[in-house]
Structure formats: structure tokens, C-alpha cells
Amino acid sequence: MFKLKLPTDPRWANIAEENIGEILTDHAWCEQKAATNAIGLITMLPEYPEIVTELLAIAQEELDHFGQVHEIIKKRGYTFGRTRKDDYVNELVNFIQKGGNRDDLIVDKMLFAAMIEARSCERFKVLTENIKDEELKVFYRELMISEANHYTTFIGFARQLGDEEKVNKRWEEWLEYEAKIIQSYGNKESIHG
């Protein structure tokens, strides 16, 4: 569905499961950042009330996910750590086109969001298929579906706001870029690490 060029090695799930407290904290902060990103996009699109409504729903859902992960952390007696730097996301930020016109920037920010949702969905699928923790398998399966819906929404907005042919070409560039950077990840106890 996402056409990601490089799948996550399933052994990453072993790293995640051995460090589940760290993964959960990192995941919680990823959800908070996703909510913040959706709110940032809202500020760029006040003239599109339907898009603002959808982005608001995504922001609320991401905050709800943040709360769910936080509850799991508390229930399991883990310590909720401080926010972490996400090197993967920071490398993606570097690929957002600088300069140009406002519309091109908005489209690229939608593709940036779609890429993060696509990789997060793929990582949640890896967790669902490879960890032993039954509660977390169910939890991550539900989130996988949600992330797939967010990906579809962001790609749809990009195509709605830009020339579809140009957007599809730019998405292919995003996929190529992401394939190059993701090679360095998949060996740390973080969602994108």
C-alpha cells in the first residue's frame, strides 16, 4: 500500500520487546509530535475548512493515542521518560523543499506527514506480527489501522492541494529518499530507530 522501498527487519521487534518501557515512552512522544504536526498544518490552511476539520480530528486522535500509551506505561509500572530526539524524522524534515511557493511547501509537508504515518504503520505491523505480548499485539494492530488511515488522508490532501501528477512524482522522490535514510535505522529501542 505504501510502496516503502525497504521493509523493517523483523528482528527490530526483538529489540523493541526487550526494551518495551523505552519503546512505549518513545511511542508516546511520537504521538504527541504527530498531534503537534497536524495542528501546525491547520495553521497553514485556514482557507480550507474541510481539511482543517480532518486535521483537527487527526490531532485529537493522535493525542488520544498519546493518552493510551501513557496509560499502558503507568499500568505496567514503567517510568514515563522525557521527550526524545527523533533522528529519523529530523532527516525527513531535511527533505522538505525549501523556497518555492506556499502551495508546494504545503504539499511537501503533507507528504512528510504521510511518510511518517506510512513508516509508523509498517513498524506497528512488525510489532503485531513478532512480539509475544498479547495485549500489545492487539493495541498495535488497532494503531496500525489508524496510521494507515492517516497516511491515506495526508496523501489525499497532497493530491487535492497540488497537481496530482507532480504530487505522485514527488511521492516517489520521498520514497527513494526514505529508503536511503531508513537503512541506518531499525537497531534501536525507538519506534523509528
B/e letters for 42-72, b = 16+ CB within 10 Å, e = fewer, are: bebbeebeebbebbeebbebbbebbebbbeb
CATH of segment(s) 10-183: 1.20.1260.10
Q: Is the pLDDT of residue 34 over 60?
A: yes
Q: How confident is the model at residue 1 (pLDDT cuts 50, 70, 90)?
A: low
- For position 188, what pLDDT does the model report? 75
Taking the C-alpha atoms of residue 53 and residue 43, their distance in angstroms, rounded to an integer, is 12
pLDDT digits (tens, 9 = 90+) for 86-144: 899 999 999 999 888 999 999 999 999 999 999 999 999 999 999 999 999 999 999 99
Q: What is the mean pLDDT of the chain?
A: 94
Count CB atoms within 10 A of the CB of residue 18: 10
pLDDT digits (tens, 9 = 90+) for 68-97: 999 999 999 999 988 888 899 999 999 999
Note the residue count of the chain: 193
The Cβ-side half-sphere exposure at 3, using a 13 Å CA radius, reads 11
Q: What cell was used for 126?
A: 512488525
Query: Does residue 50 or residue 98 have the better pLDDT?
Result: 50
Taking the C-alpha atoms of residue 50 and residue 45, their distance in angstroms, rounded to an integer, is 10
Task: Give the mean model confidence (pLDDT) for residues 160-181.
Answer: 96
- For position 100, what pLDDT does the model report? 82
Query: Does residue 85 or residue 67 have the better pLDDT?
Result: 67
Residues 6+ apart with CB under 8 A from 66: 28, 31, 32, 35
C-beta of residue 181 within 8 angstroms of C-beta of residue 91: yes
DSSP 120-153: HHHHHHHHHHH---HHHHHHHHHHHHHHHHHHHH
Extents of the domains making up the chain = 10-183
Taking the C-alpha atoms of residue 191 and residue 66, their distance in angstroms, rounded to an integer, is 14
Task: Give the mean model confidence (pLDDT) for residues 164-183.
Answer: 95
